[in-house]
Amino acid sequence: MNSMENKATISEHLLASYWKGETTEAERLQVEQWLAASSENQQLFDKWKQAWEHAGAMADFEAIDVEANWKEVKRKIAGEGKPGKRKGFFPNVWRYAAAIVLIATVSFLTWQWMTTPEMLSVTASAEPMNVSLPDGTQVWLNKGATLDYPEEFAADSRQVELTGEAFFEVVHMPEKPFSVMADQTETRVLGTSFNLNEKAGDELELVLITGKVQFSKGEQNEILVPGERVTVDEAGLVTKSFNEQQNFMSWKTGRLIFDSTAIRDVVLDVEQLYGISLEIESESFKSCLLTTTFQNDPLESVFDTFKILFETEVVQTDQGYIIKGGGCQKD
């Protein structure tokens, strides 16, 4: 559906009332159903909202009583009613100057509104996807992640907003710092690569691959070098440590590497990569060790490896999968 067709389905007056919170319950439902019908409707509404906000700013200037304000300025400058002060001598140039200032201010606001770059939003719904930003920076979004960024970056900064998990390869521009906003945190870089994961709840994790970044949440600040990670827990506490999670980027690389890794940890990485629930029935099997590499292997191949090496059986249930049996390999 194109924008013109969207516009014909609902009145701008009704949308304005909705935005200002002045609709009836029935009108509110009508607008929300229209917004949910397509992303183009939401984009159209956002553009109209910007126009109304701009119109409101213009109305504030139009409401100024220039004549009354000018008289008040003259009265104060002249010292009206005070002995020894000269009254009434004000060249018209003062009035012209006030008018010029007013016109210039309104013109500046109009120019600022008209030149504000359009915001774009992209979501990786079914599978990871790659996004190229206006500066050439490459972003890989994990499934379910959303990235908001301007159609054109500002002259002195590059700022984007992330919901979910993504890997960034940032183009080096010292004069124009790149920053990622995620869950009330800011990751500020010049040119680097890192993985940022806004997890469920208030948890967040950043792992630096190359370069150098400054991570901030409120008054908490950390500088990271390659191999380090910061986490933000549910209480908002920022902690920096060395990254020991070998497979944290498996969602992007499709690779799982295990080097004498306990099966309990192997299963966590397999669950994360394949998006499944995998339960271990035997407590003793959880401590068995696995050394192998999976590279874009189907899930069945992973299960076959378990079966061959540990004599297990994997059973599918309504909730996921259960690994039954299993014994550690003999030396």
* SS3 track for 264-328: HHHHHHHHHHHCCCEEECCCHHHHCEEEEEEECCCHHHHHHHHHHHHCEEEEECCCCEEEEECCC
Q: Give bridge partners of residue 139 from the DSSP assignment.
A: 131, 168
Helix, strand, or coil (residue 65): coil
Nearest-10 crossing angle of helices 25-37, 12-19: 110
For residue 155, the model assigns a pLDDT of 87
Q: What is the pLDDT of residue 34?
A: 79
Distance CA 297, CA 312 (A): 19
**Closest alpha carbon to 253 in 229, 269, 232:** 269
Per-residue pLDDT of the chain (331 residues; tens, 9 = 90+): 343 334 445 776 677 778 777 888 777 888 888 777 776 777 777 767 666 655 554 455 445 555 565 555 556 555 554 555 444 444 555 555 555 555 555 555 544 544 566 889 999 988 899 999 999 999 999 999 999 999 999 888 999 999 999 999 999 998 899 999 998 899 999 779 999 998 766 689 999 999 999 999 999 999 999 999 999 998 889 999 999 899 999 999 999 999 999 999 999 999 999 999 999 999 999 999 999 999 999 999 999 999 999 999 999 999 999 999 988 876 5
How is residue 294 written in tokens? Answer: 């999976």
Non-local (6+) Cβ contacts of 297 within 8 A are: none
Could you give the 3-state DSSP secondary structure of residue 152?
coil
pTM of the entire predicted model: 0.62
pLDDT value for 169: 95
What domains are there in the chain, each with its CATH number? 3-115 (no CATH), 127-242 (2.60.120.1440), 250-325 (3.55.50.30)
Rounded CA gap, 139 and 70, in Å?
55
The pLDDT, as a whole number, for residue 276 is 93
